[in-house]
Amino acid sequence: MEVWQQSLLSVVIVSAISLIGVVTLAISEERLKNPIQWLIGLAVGALFGDAIFHLLPESFEELGRIAGLYTVAGFALFFIFEKLLHWRHRHTPNQSERIEPIGWLNLLADGLHNLIDGLLIAASYLISPSTGYATTMAVVLHEIPQELGDYGILREANFSKWGALLWNFLSGLFAIVGMILAVTYGFNNDEFAIKTLAFTAGGFFYMIVILLRKISEDLTVSKTISQLGAISIGIASMWLLTFFE
């Protein structure tokens, strides 16, 4: 029962971070355009840094070269998923203000990532409370820049402010699903989690390609410098977290 309580409290905190976009509700749509572009850059950096510094090293350490196949599979399936979304939109009569596929791709990748976070947090509490606390802190620090970027992606994909908050929060709830699975089945073998990390890294790389294509359309010097700064902050934040793991 104690493991249930500790794990549940931790994943609720992690899930709540997905609502970080609430700080933008008081900002008008016109004034929000530039911050969203900056958040897209932050998302690119956070996704890239997460995959390079966290997901892939852990996957290759546990799985060896086979981790590369799971990463390629993730990239390929996200490519297919985007094609299906484009096909669906093409056959939808009302094309106005449609949700761009990158928004749904982001929710899929973020949901998988949150599921693994929930699994890992609960698995840590099954080892000891102190291990659970340390893992929770690492995940919380990890989630802040990534959730900011996720919110920016959803807004860029034509989600409304409230829609982006709601869908991002629903994606965050997958951490609770992961926790329940881990505690219910006494999760202590992380092979499934490691494989999913490699798969998610492939999805991240595919999303990075799409996002870079979107922000590279603006060729002004000031925007380019701002985007590079945001990408650098995203990468640096993920690199710094390696010292706390």
- What SS3 string covers 88-152? HHHCCCCCCCCCCHHHHHHHHHHHHHHHHHHHHHHHHHHHCHHHHHHHHHHHHHHHHHHHHHHHH
pLDDT of residue 170: 93
pLDDT of residue 189: 53
Query: Do 78 and 232 meet the contact criterion of CB atoms below 8 Å apart?
Result: no
pLDDT of residue 196: 82
Neighbours of 170 (CB within 10 A): 15
Residue type present at position 105: L
Domain boundaries, the chain: 2-15+35-90+98-244
Query: Do 235 and 47 meet the contact criterion of CB atoms below 8 Å apart?
Result: no
pLDDT along the chain (245 residues), means of 10: 82 88 73 80 90 89 92 94 77 63 89 86 78 78 83 89 92 90 69 81 91 80 88 91 75
